[in-house]
Structure 1
Amino acid sequence: MRHFVPLCLLVASLAVLASCGGGGTSSETTLVVHPAMSSYPSNAFVGLGGTEVILVSFVGTNNTSITCSIQEGSLGGSADCSQPAQATFTAPATAGTYHLIITSQADPTVSLTVTLRVTSGVGKFVPTTGLPVTGRFKCHTATLLPNGMVLIAGGGSVLSGGAILASAEVYNPTTGMFVATGTMNNPRCDHTAILLPNGEVLVAGGSDASGNPLSSAELYDPGIGTFTSLSSMATPRARHTATLLGNGKVLLAGGNAGTGSSFTVFNTAELFDPGTSIFTTTGNLTAARGEHTATVLQDGRVLLTGGYDNNPANGQVSAEIYDPASGQFTATGSMATPRAFHTTTLLQNGKVLVTGALNLLITGGEKAELFDPTNGTFSPTGNMNVVRFFPAATPLANGQVLITGGLSAGGGIFVNSDRSAELYDPASGLFYVTANMNRIRFGHRAILLPDGTVLVVGDEIESGKPTGFNDEADLYLP
C-alpha cells in the first residue's frame, strides 16, 4: 500500500573542523552541514509478498537520491530505491521483522532505518454494508450495547447545515445496517453516553443547538429503544468525561460551559447512582479540565489527563487520579507534552498509552507516553508516524491499539484531515502504519465490536467540506 503524508524533521547536524598553518598560528573554521532525512512511514505492517512505498523527506540538500539495503539480506525481501526520495519494499514470503536502511547519496554518513513487520494478515478498512441513517459529524457518541449493537446518538447533521441532532440510531454488526431508534429528549453535542451494568445507557450533558450547556440527562433502554428523562446533573457541562466505576456508579468530571467571555472550564465532579437515578457531587479535581481523558485503571481508580484550561488553546501536562473509596482527586506525575483532544488507552499490562496533542505544530506532537500506575509517572514510548489532533484509539483483542485519523501537522484542515491509521505494539513500543481508512476523519468514534472488528463512524466536518462527505462508516478488519 502507498502513503502520501511525509513527516519532516527539521534537524541539521553541524561539524566544526579546525586546521593550523605553519610558521605561526592561524585557524580556519569550516562549517559542514549534513542533510537531515526522515521517512513516512517510519514503521509499517506489510503482508507476505506485499509492498510498502516509503516516502523520504530531506532538509539541507536538493539531492534526493538514495540507496538502500535490507539489514537481514536477501531473506528480508527486496528494495527498489531507483526513484528519488522513494523506496519500495517488497516483503519476503516469511513472516518476521525486517529493517530497511535508507542512505542519502548526497552524504553517505546520513541514513535512517524503517522497521517493517511482515505478517500473514494485514488489517484493512472496508465500508459497512449500509450507510448511517443520518450523516453525523463531530460531537456524537457511540456506545457498545450488551447485544453487540452500537448506539450512535446526537451530534451535528451532515445534511442539515450542521444542526444539532436529538436523533439516534443503532448499528447491527450481523447485518451491517444502521437502523433508527428512539429520539432523545434534547438535541445534544459534546455529551457523554456510557453503558450501565443493567444494560441501559446514561446520556448526560452536552450543549444544545444554541451552544448552551445542558444539565439534563436521560436513559436509553435498548430493549424498547426509547429514551427517558432523568433528574438533572448538579452542573450543566459539555466536553466532560463519564466513567463507569467498579461500584456501578458513574463519575462525571470537568467539562465546560459558555462561549467567548463567558467561557468557563470546571474543576467539579459528580456521581450518578443507577440505583436511585440521582446525581450527587463528589470531590473537586485538582485542575479545571475540558476535552481531557478519564481511564479506569486495573485497581479501580481513574486516571484523568490533560485537557484545556480556561483558555481552550492551552493543553495541560498535569494529570490526577480519582479514588472511588475516598471520593477525592489527587495529583500524579505530569506528562511531557501538553495535551487536549487526545486519547488514553488502558493496555493489558496495566499501563496507559497516551497519544495525540492539542496544537498540531507543538514540539513533540507525534510523541506518545505511557503512564505507570505503580509509580505514578509518565515515560516516553515510540513516536507515532504522524502528529495527530483529535484521533481515536481503540484497544484490540490482541493487545495492540488501533490509532485512526485526526488532523496532521501543517497546512489547511482539508488537506491534512487524515485517512491514515497505525497500530501500537506494546511488546516493541513502536507504532506501525497499517491500511488507510476509506474516508478522512477526525473527531470520529471507533468502537471495538465483539467479533474483534472496529466500527469507525463520523467525522469533524468543517465549513467548506462537501455535503454528505462523511456519511459512510468503515469497519476495520484486523
Structure 2
Amino acid sequence: MKRSIILLVLVLVLQPSTLHADEGNGQGQAYVRPTPVRIGGAVTIAFGSPGLAFGQALLIVADNPGPVVHPQLGLVCLDILGPSAQIALSTLLDANGNASLTVGVPNLPQLVGFAPAYALALTVDFSIPGPVPISLSKTVRLNFANPDGYLPAGTLSITRALHTATALGADGADNRTRVLVAGGGSGTILSPVASDTTEIYSPLHRSFSPGPTMAVERALHQSLRLDDGRVLIIGGVDSNGLCSTSCETFDPATGQFTATGSMIEARAGHVATKLANGKVLVTGGVATIMGGSTNIATVLMTARNSAELFDPVTGVWTLLPAMAAPRFEHAQVLLPGGGVLIAGGINGGTTVFGQGLPTYTNSCEVFDPTTNSFFSTGSLPQGLAGHGLSVLANGDVLATGGIRNIFFVPTAVPDASRWNGATWSATATLSGGVAFHTQLASRVGGQALIHGGLSGTLLALGASAVAGRHDGTAFTAAAPIGVDPGIPGSSASARGSHTMVELFDGSYLLVGGADGNSAFANAFTWIE
C-alpha cells in the first residue's frame, strides 16, 4: 500500500529533472536535512518546503540509492520502486512549510558497520489549480556514526596537501551537498608540488570523482563559496614556485570553471574571508616561492603587507590600504560584528649562522568593512605563523598552535591564547605542539575543534593525529584522527596541511594532508 501511494504521487510531477539525480527535480524548494545518525543519541530528519504552508509531505526511505528512471522525474537517486522503499512519515507541513522526524539510536558502537539507509522528501502543493506540482528534495545517506569516530570516506585520485576544500551548498537545506577539492599535491610549504586538477566529493556515495581542470596549477591558494553559489579560487603557487594573480570561479550548476578578474598582486600563502556584504577580503601572502627549498630567507622577505577586496558582482579586485605588517601563513577570522581579525604571521626572513630563518610578527589588526580600513588591536603573546583561529561561543577568539623560533629553529608549539575584543591572554595549552592544523568553530557548543597538524621542527618535521576541543579555558583530547571505536583495528593517522570542511548534515570531511615524509590521498568523515 505504501509503495502504491508513492506511485500515485509521482505521476503528478510536472517536468523531468535538470539537476544531478541526487539533487532533486529542480522544482519548488523541497529539502531534507538530517543530523548525523549519532550512535547512543538520535537522528533528526528535518524536511519540507519553506513557504509551503500546510502542504502535504512524504519522507521516503530505502536501502538502495538507485538510481531508477521515472517517466516524469527522470533519474531519481532512490529506489522508490524497490521492495525496501517505505514512507517513514506522511504529514502536513506546519505554517512555515517544515516538518521533522526524530528517532533514537542505540548505544552500540558496532552499528557503525551496518549498511546505510537513504532518504528523500516529496512535497505537494494542492493550492495551485491544474496539474499538481511536486517538489523532490536531494537524496541523503543515513550512516551510523560514533561520536568522535572517524569513518573512511573514499580516496582521492592523487595525494593532496596544501589544497582547498569547499562545500558547494549554502546550508543543510540546500540541495547541493558536494565538496570541491582543488589543487595542492605533495612537497612542502616552501617547495610545493602543485596541481591544476580538482575532485568532487559526494556525501551520498562517500567517494570522489574527477572535477574540471583549473586554468593554472595551484597550491597554497584560497577558495570559498560566494553568496550566489559559485566557488572563488584565488591565487596560489605553481610547481615552479611562481605565484599567481589568477582567479577563477567554479559554477556547480554547469560544473565548469570560468576566469574572473585577477588580483592586483600575485600571492600565495595568503588568507581569504567572505564578508557579510558578500565581498571577499584577501590579505598577505608571499610574492614568490622560487628557490624556497635552498634560500628560505629570500622567499620570506617577499611577504606582503597588502590587501585586496573582491566584488563578485563586477569581478574586480580593489587594492586596500596596507596592513600594519607583512604577513605570510597568518590567520584571520570573521567576527560576529562583521569585522575581520587578522593575527600574526611570518613578516620576513633573516640569516643566522648561515641558516635562513623566518621572522614573525605578533601584531594584530581588525579590518572594518564599513570604512575598508584596518585598525590595530592587542598583540599576540608571541609572534606565530601556521596557527589556528576561531570564534568561541561568547564571541572571544582563540588562537592555537603555530610555529615560532626556539633556539633559532622553527618549532611547532602548543601555545593557546584568547582575545577578548581588545587584548590577548594566554590560556591552557594543547597536548602537543602543532602547526598547519585545522581549527573550526563548533556549531554544537562553540568550542574550537582542533585536528592534527605538523609537529616537531623544520629540521625534523613530523605530524600529529591529536584531535580535541578547546573552550577557551581548557583543551580536552578526543579520539585521534583515524580511530573509531566501532571499527576493529582502526589506527591513528597523523597529518597536517589537510583540510576539514563541514558537510550539510553537520558532520565534517577531513581530506588529504601530509606528514614529514609524504602526502596522503585518503579522507575521513567525523562527527561531534
Which residue number in structure 2 is paired with residue 142 of structure 1?
165
Cα distance change on mapping 1:477 and 1:364 into 2, 3 Å = closer
Contact in 1 for aligned 2:467/2:480 (Cα 8 Å): yes
Please state how far the C-alpha of 1:122 moved relative to its aligned partner.
4.7
Q: Counterparts of 2:342 and 2:439 in 1: how far apart (Å)? A: 16
- Of the three residues 319, 339, 347, the one matched with 2:384 is 339
Q: Tell me the alpha carbon deviations over residues 260-316 of structure 1, each in whole angstroms, 9 at most, x when there is no partner.
A: 436411111111101101111111111110111111101111100000012162222
Which residue number in structure 2 is paired with residue 102 of structure 1?
none
Alignment of 1:384-423 (within 5 A): 384-398=430-444, 399-409=446-456, 413=460, 416-423=462-469
Q: Tell me the alpha carbon deviations over residues 22-57 of structure 1, each in whole angstroms, 9 at most, x when there is no partner.
A: xxxxxxxxxxxxxxxxxxxxxxxxx99xxxxxxxxx
Contact in 2 for aligned 1:337/1:357 (Cα 8 Å): no
Alignment of 1:294-373 (within 5 A): 294-311=332-349, 313-359=358-404, 361=406, 365-373=413-421
Q: Counterparts of 1:217 and 1:345 in 2: how far apart (Å)? A: 26
Contact in 2 for aligned 1:457/1:473 (Cα 8 Å): yes
Please state how far the C-alpha of 1:347 moved relative to its aligned partner.
1.9
Q: Counterparts of 1:124 and 1:403 in 2: how far apart (Å)? A: 14
Q: Counterparts of 2:501 and 2:411 in 1: how far apart (Å)? A: 30
Q: Counterparts of 2:504 and 2:405 in 1: how far apart (Å)? A: 34
Q: Counterparts of 2:376 and 2:262 in 1: how far apart (Å)? A: 29
Q: Counterparts of 2:177 and 2:393 in 1: how far apart (Å)? A: 22
- Of the three residues 228, 234, 237, the one matched with 1:198 is 228
Q: Counterparts of 1:298 and 1:331 in 2: how far apart (Å)? A: 18
What secondary structure does 2:348 align onto?
Answer: coil
- In structure 1, what residue type is equivalent to 2:230? E
What secondary structure does 2:359 align onto?
Answer: coil
Contact in 2 for aligned 1:360/1:408 (Cα 8 Å): no
Cα distance change on mapping 1:402 and 1:240 into 2, 3 Å = same
Confirm whether residue 456 of structure 1 aligns to residue 510 of structure 2: yes
Select between 230-239 and 300-309 the one with higher mean Cα deviation: 230-239
Q: Counterparts of 1:385 and 1:234 in 2: how far apart (Å)? A: 41
What secondary structure does 1:135 align onto?
Answer: coil
Please state how far the C-alpha of 1:332 moved relative to its aligned partner.
0.6
Please state how far the C-alpha of 1:421 moved relative to its aligned partner.
1.0
Q: Counterparts of 1:363 and 1:190 in 2: how far apart (Å)? A: 20
Please state how far the C-alpha of 1:404 moved relative to its aligned partner.
0.9
Contact in 2 for aligned 1:443/1:459 (Cα 8 Å): yes
Q: Tell me the alpha carbon deviations over residues 133-166 of structure 1, each in whole angstroms, 9 at most, x when there is no partner.
A: 32212x21111111232111001159xx974210
What secondary structure does 1:257 align onto?
Answer: coil
Q: Counterparts of 2:192 and 2:375 in 1: how far apart (Å)? A: 39
Please state how far the C-alpha of 1:413 moved relative to its aligned partner.
4.2
Please state how far the C-alpha of 1:367 moved relative to its aligned partner.
2.2
Q: Counterparts of 1:410 and 1:188 in 2: how far apart (Å)? A: 26
What secondary structure does 1:265 align onto?
Answer: coil
Percentage of identical aligned residues: 34
What secondary structure does 2:383 align onto?
Answer: coil
Which residue number in structure 1 is paired with residue 527 of structure 2?
477
Please state how far the C-alpha of 1:384 moved relative to its aligned partner.
1.0
- Of the three residues 245, 255, 258, the one matched with 1:225 is 255
Aligned residues: 348
Which residue number in structure 1 is paired with residue 474 of structure 2?
430
Contact in 2 for aligned 1:359/1:389 (Cα 8 Å): no
- In structure 1, what residue type is equivalent to 2:306? T
- Of the three residues 151, 176, 199, the one matched with 1:126 is 151
Please state how far the C-alpha of 1:407 moved relative to its aligned partner.
2.6
Contact in 1 for aligned 2:158/2:185 (Cα 8 Å): no
Q: Counterparts of 2:468 and 2:250 in 1: how far apart (Å)? A: 33
Which residue number in structure 1 is paired with residue 33 of structure 2?
none
Which residue number in structure 1 is paired with residue 95 of structure 2?
none
Which residue number in structure 2 is paired with residue 81 of structure 1?
none
- In structure 1, what residue type is equivalent to 2:525? L
Please state how far the C-alpha of 1:131 moved relative to its aligned partner.
1.2
Which residue number in structure 2 is paired with residue 37 of structure 1?
none
Which residue number in structure 2 is paired with residue 242 of structure 1?
272
Confirm whether residue 213 of structure 1 aligns to residue 243 of structure 2: yes
- In structure 1, what residue type is equivalent to 2:520? N
- In structure 2, what residue type is equivalent to 1:446? M
RMSD: 2.5
- In structure 2, what residue type is equivalent to 1:149? R
Contact in 2 for aligned 1:151/1:169 (Cα 8 Å): yes
Contact in 2 for aligned 1:447/1:455 (Cα 8 Å): yes
Alignment of 1:364-383 (within 5 A): 365-373=413-421, 376-383=422-429
Provide structure 2 residue ranges, at least 5 long, that are not aligned to the other structure. Answer: 1-38, 41-106, 108-145, 170-175, 350-356, 483-492
Please state how far the C-alpha of 1:224 moved relative to its aligned partner.
1.4
TM-score between both structures, scaled by the size of structure 1: 0.68
Q: Counterparts of 2:163 and 2:382 in 1: how far apart (Å)? A: 27
Cα distance change on mapping 1:304 and 1:410 into 2, 3 Å = closer
- In structure 2, what residue type is equivalent to 1:400? Q
Cα distance change on mapping 1:236 and 1:162 into 2, 3 Å = closer
Q: Tell me the alpha carbon deviations over residues 222-255 of structure 1, each in whole angstroms, 9 at most, x when there is no partner.
A: 1111111122111011111111111111111111
Provide structure 1 residue ranges, at least 5 long, that are not aligned to the other structure. Answer: 1-46, 49-92, 94-120
Q: Counterparts of 1:166 and 1:295 in 2: how far apart (Å)? A: 27
Q: Counterparts of 1:381 and 1:162 in 2: how far apart (Å)? A: 34
- In structure 2, what residue type is equivalent to 1:136? R
- In structure 1, what residue type is equivalent to 2:429? N
